[in-house]
Structure 1
Amino acid sequence: MGKRHTIEAMVGAFVALGVVALFFLAMKVSNLSMISGEDGYQLTARFSNIGSLKVRAPVTMAGVRIGRVESVSFDKTTYEAVVGMRIDAAVDSIPDDTFANIFTSGLLGEQFIGLEPGGSPEFLRDGDAIANTQSALLLEQMIGQFLFKKAGESG
């Protein structure tokens, strides 16, 4: 009887460990975190179309994640999307003429913001806005343009 209880306890511990591992994997895959990243500084950018950009989407520069999208809102006066980003404190020398683009990871992957640094000697600080932006390229718009172009060539 003692050997059977030991085996059952070991199997139970193994299953519990597997559930905990799956929980952390799900948190990592969905870009959730138990720790709120309050370190860093806030930047904003305005886009005419953000596609399916979500809160907690990565903000990258040269392919390296340097922050996360913290908020997405709509400005009723300019009819633009306002995206708030939290940039890591270690990345404190982003030129103020930096360009913000919305890219898609793969063909149908998640969207993220890619920053392309400019050449200005002045740097963005907490609360600043990125003036140079390019909205998301939507797959539906590209297909529509392709079909319209093909229809024009054949007609």
Structure 2
Amino acid sequence: MTREKTDFWVGLFILLGLIALVFLALRAGNMSAFSFAPTYRVHAYFDNVGGLKVRAPVKSSGVVVGRVAAIGFDNQRFQASVALDLDAQYEFPTDSSVAILTSGLLGEQYIGLTPGGEDKNLADGGTIQMTQSAVVLEDLISKFLYDSAEKEGAGPAAK
């Protein structure tokens, strides 16, 4: 009888350990939001999405209000198409704007949503018109280097 009781507790401990391991794996993989809360989908178009990934957070005032559902390319606009699933409890005006932001200097990218001032709210299937693409660090560095090289080159020629 004691052997069976010990086997039961060991089995229960292993099962709880496996559940905890799965939970941590989902949490680390940004998949922990398996919520069944209602959402609505809106679309936004960007010239450059940088390193934005599906399931990246959509934040407004630092609060996660949704997730990136899909990223694709629109052949008519020749822009990146991003589908956002926003939680139904958060309503945003139709003139809201979105920008692709980076947490920290080299951190992960997310969507920053800034509410507008319209009375009418975004609906399922709506489009956010005002977008700001991702800032590419390589472009900033090259722009800085070329600008400083032009200033150095123009200085002696002017004398």
TM-score in same-fold range (> 0.5): yes
1:132 to partner: Cα distance: 0.2
Equivalenced residues, count:
153
Unmatched segments (≥5 aa) in structure 1? none
Following the alignment from structure 2 to structure 1, what is the Cα–Cα distance between the partners of residues 5 and 16? 16
1:64-103 equivalent positions in 2, closer than 5 A? 64-92=63-91, 94-103=92-101
1:10 to partner: Cα distance: 6.0
C-alpha root-mean-square deviation of aligned residues, in Å?
Answer: 2.3
1:70 to partner: Cα distance: 0.5
Output the TM-score relative to the length of structure 1: 0.86
Matching residue of 1:121? 119
Alignment of 1:35 with 2:21, yes or no, is no
* 143-152 or 52-61, which deviates more: 143-152
1:38 to partner: Cα distance: 6.2
**Taking every aligned residue pair, what percent have the same amino acid on both sides?**
45
Unmatched segments (≥5 aa) in structure 2? 154-159
1:18 to partner: Cα distance: 3.7
Alignment of 1:149 with 2:147, yes or no, is yes
* 20-29 or 110-119, which deviates more: 20-29
Alignment deviations for residues 66-117 of structure 1 (CA, whole Å, 9 cap, x no partner): 000101110112210010011101012x111111000011112111100011
Alignment of 1:58 with 2:57, yes or no, is yes
Following the alignment from structure 1 to structure 2, what is the Cα–Cα distance between the partners of residues 38 and 85? 15
Matching residue of 2:157? none
One-letter amino acid of the counterpart of residue 40, structure 1? T
Following the alignment from structure 2 to structure 1, what is the Cα–Cα distance between the partners of residues 82 and 42? 8
* 76-85 or 10-19, which deviates more: 10-19
Matching residue of 1:48? 47
Following the alignment from structure 1 to structure 2, what is the Cα–Cα distance between the partners of residues 22 and 119? 45
Following the alignment from structure 2 to structure 1, what is the Cα–Cα distance between the partners of residues 33 and 129? 32
Q: Which structure would you say has the larger Rg? A: 2
Output the TM-score relative to the length of structure 2: 0.84
